[in-house]
Chain A
């Protein structure tokens, strides 16, 4: 920015660009051009196509609309089959080129395919769309009717958000990860801690995180109550994009000016954070693992865009390698994408999980969305690497779901009760950063 401009946060800079201004102020209502829109099988074609037809229009730019199937796969009944079939037929009819069918969960697949780049303004028909903020894109979730508005006009209105800066200094300890950091924030500030503003994650511990861990932070901004969850792009971002085939990206403009006004600024010592567990029925019921250690569990679930990406699978594997899960415990693993599963297979991560007794489930939302085949039964006691444990979401209203990191889920599977993963860690493998 020129020295004459007032200092701006990353969120302001992203929205200024998208609204064609040099500067925006929190509280302004602006209209933004949308660079990318994403829908999945549940919120997408089956909801928007009839409305587009009623209005007599088509998608404003089919190359900017990405569709992913993940909620109703595997299609286990005729209603799910009909939804998937409609999605495929409509995509073909409308000439949507970016259709990722049965290859994983939208928030894992979008970055994998190189759709998200620093500087973009993007919307997703799913509440975990803030995941895109890990790439320095202003991405947020919208409902199907709001998506209709984007598909007709290519635009969306925004109230320019204030920014809440969350800084993690130092390094996260072995056995502690982005999931723990986000559960901690939910516990500390509540599910409305983000106040539907922009949350920016920064500090040396965040800088040291690989992209998929940053994605977990941005992803769970949904539970923290922010509209967007941003990480300023850097060399780690550019390396990911290059691997995804995206070259020539300029990350340089996309950072918060040091003196930009903030709504709140919280600094935490990453090294002091313990693994976290959130009790039913809210991520805000989070506390250090010791507070819940010993709670019995029947099911350990490693799944979802939040908790089953390659990095998450590696965490679980590092605890489970060479060990067997406790008798009577069911460990289910639903890798977030087919590509992550293939890599896990190549490097031996998947074998470590399966040898420990894991059951492999499809690359889809599964029990996290609770829409289809995998729902937990009456009184099931579950520990899960997913994002939400609302009453009745993942199964029967009587099911008790605890949330934790993949490390803690894996350690709990070994013991048949909620357990601290740190005693199980092979520290030679944990020197990732």
Chain B
């Protein structure tokens, strides 16, 4: 995956990603307000394949998975940060959004075109090649399937005793 870099700071919270007052709305409406108080214009100009590069502790706060879902709906290909809030990290992978831990994320320039290889744990760009923590294999498998829902569908198809069938 490759795209243009959008940079945000430390401690971006889930209220900034999926504002509470829009939580009763569908994901398209929530996505329109994603990061509006932090990075005005992001939601209307971000392009599919772009990469969000953040400071540490990205996604703190709520369990609301509309936070990663909004980024995914906007076409964000990956979020790269030196650290993530644990709940956000799990939610993102469950929804099929790549989240990549990169200690040197601050070296990635705003607006650069980069290529993120979540499986290999590498980010490459013009004059730039940074190592990242590889995503554990069992989570990578789920990410490749598109998230937990398709992964569960696969399991239900293959494991006759799994789940209480309707």
Interface 1/0 per residue, A139-161 and B, CB below 8 Å: 00111111011001100010000
Q: Sorted from nearest, which 8 A-B pairs have the closest CB atoms? A: A196-B86, A143-B65, A370-B20, A143-B91, A57-B163, A79-B24, A127-B63, A145-B94
In the complex, what distance in Å separates the CA atom of A371 from the CA atom of B15? 11
Does B113 have its Cβ within 8 Å of any Cβ on chain A?
Answer: no
Residues from chain B with a CB closer than 8 A to the CB of A77 are: 24
Does B152 have its Cβ within 8 Å of any Cβ on chain A?
Answer: yes
Does B23 have its Cβ within 8 Å of any Cβ on chain A?
Answer: yes
Q: How far, in Å, is B104 (CB) from chain A's closest CB? A: 18
In the complex, what distance in Å separates the CA atom of A391 from the CA atom of B85? 18
Which residues 58-77 in B have Cβ within 8 Å of A in the complex? Answer: 60-65
Does B34 have its Cβ within 8 Å of any Cβ on chain A?
Answer: no
CB-based contact B163/A393 at 8 Å: no
In the complex, what distance in Å separates the CA atom of A122 from the CA atom of B56? 28
Does B37 have its Cβ within 8 Å of any Cβ on chain A?
Answer: yes
Residues from chain A with a CB closer than 8 A to the CB of B153 are: 54-55
Q: How far, in Å, is A81 (CB) from chain B's closest CB? A: 10
In the complex, what distance in Å separates the CA atom of A59 from the CA atom of B60? 29
Number of interface residues of A (CB under 8 A): 53
Q: Of all chain A residues, which has the CB nearest B38?
A: A391
CB-based contact B156/A55 at 8 Å: yes
Residues from chain A with a CB closer than 8 A to the CB of B21 are: 370-371, 375
Residues from chain B with a CB closer than 8 A to the CB of A284 are: 11
Which residue numbers of A lie inside 8 Å of B, CB to CB?
A: 29, 42-43, 47, 51, 53-60, 71-72, 77, 79-80, 83, 124-127, 129, 141-146, 148-149, 152-153, 157, 190-192, 196, 225, 227, 282, 284, 369-371, 375, 388, 390-393, 397
CB-based contact A143/B25 at 8 Å: no
Q: Which of B62, B64, B164 contacts A57 (CB 8 A)?
A: B164
In the complex, what distance in Å separates the CA atom of A143 from the CA atom of B67? 10
Tell me what chain A mostly uses at the interface: helix, strand, loop, or mixed.
loop
In the complex, what distance in Å separates the CA atom of A59 from the CA atom of B163? 8
Interface 1/0 per residue, B11-36 and A, CB below 8 Å: 10101100111011100000000000
A371-B149 contact, Cβ under 8 Å, with A127-B61, A282-B11? no
CB-based contact B61/A146 at 8 Å: no
Residues from chain A with a CB closer than 8 A to the CB of B152 are: 55, 148-149, 152-153
CB-based contact A392/B149 at 8 Å: no
Q: Which of A43, A58, A127 contacts B164 (CB 8 A)?
A: A58
Q: How far, in Å, is A13 (CB) from chain B's closest CB? A: 21
Does B136 have its Cβ within 8 Å of any Cβ on chain A?
Answer: yes
Residues from chain A with a CB closer than 8 A to the CB of B94 are: 143, 145-146, 149
